[in-house]
Amino acid sequence: MKTIILAIFLLISARSFSQKFYLGEELIPNSKEYKLLCISSETGVHTYQFIGILTDKYFFEREIGDIIVGIKNGIIVTTVYNVIPKPGDVGVPKSIIDLIQSNLPFPLKNINGIYAVNIDNETISISRSNNPLTFHKDRIAFMNTVKQSILRQ
């Protein structure tokens, strides 16, 4: 699982990538760089908004709006990158889907505009959203998370 995600992030990194948050790595958030959004009563995951200084403001050649990380027992279990669509972007642009798909061993499935794949104990999804996860802004949300069944343990 880490190899697949690392390959995706290395490719994206070469195309301009901001803060790097990898599933399974340790992270102890501080109040200067992270704002606590909520704590799940079901899974115990602490969800934070990254409010620190971005080292690079672009992801998928689009400006980052927000980064969210979920942490359980000091380990990153969820990452969400909300990127600002370019004028003319419709849904999730094919260029982004193609880039992600070229680094995955299984095809992304499109269900109502949400592209996703489950690989081992991990879910990768990308969608065009305007909801609480995107702070009610039109964003292209890239989410990488450990499966919910594992988070409940």
End-to-end CA distance of the chain: 19
**What is the four-CA torsion angle of 91, 96, 102, 104, rounded to 10 degrees?**
-70
- Predicted local distance difference test score (pLDDT) of residue 150: 78
Q: For 83-106, write each residue's pLDDT tens digit.
A: 999 999 999 999 999 988 988 889
Three-state DSSP class for residue 49: strand
- Predicted local distance difference test score (pLDDT) of residue 55: 83
Question: Nearest 5°: phi and psi at 59?
Answer: -145, 130
% of the chain at pLDDT higher than 70: 88
Identify the bridge partners of residue 59 per DSSP, sorted by sequence position.
62
Q: For 26-57, write each residue's pLDDT tens digit.
A: 999 999 999 999 999 999 999 999 999 888 78
pTM, entire model: 0.84
CA distance linking residue 78 with residue 72, whole number of Å? 9
- Identity at 103, one-letter amino acid code: N
Q: Using CA of residue 90, residue 134, residue 2, residue 34, what is the dihedral sign?
A: positive
Q: For 131-153, write each residue's pLDDT tens digit.
A: 999 999 999 999 999 887 777 77
122, 146 Cβ separation under 8 angstroms: yes
- Predicted local distance difference test score (pLDDT) of residue 19: 64
Q: Using CA of residue 41, residue 35, residue 148, residue 150, what is the dihedral sign?
A: negative
Segment 106-121 shows an average pLDDT of: 92
Q: When comparing pLDDT for 149 and 72, which is higher?
A: 72
Q: Is the pLDDT of residue 64 over 70?
A: yes
Q: Is the pLDDT of residue 13 over 50?
A: no
- Predicted local distance difference test score (pLDDT) of residue 51: 93
- Predicted local distance difference test score (pLDDT) of residue 1: 46
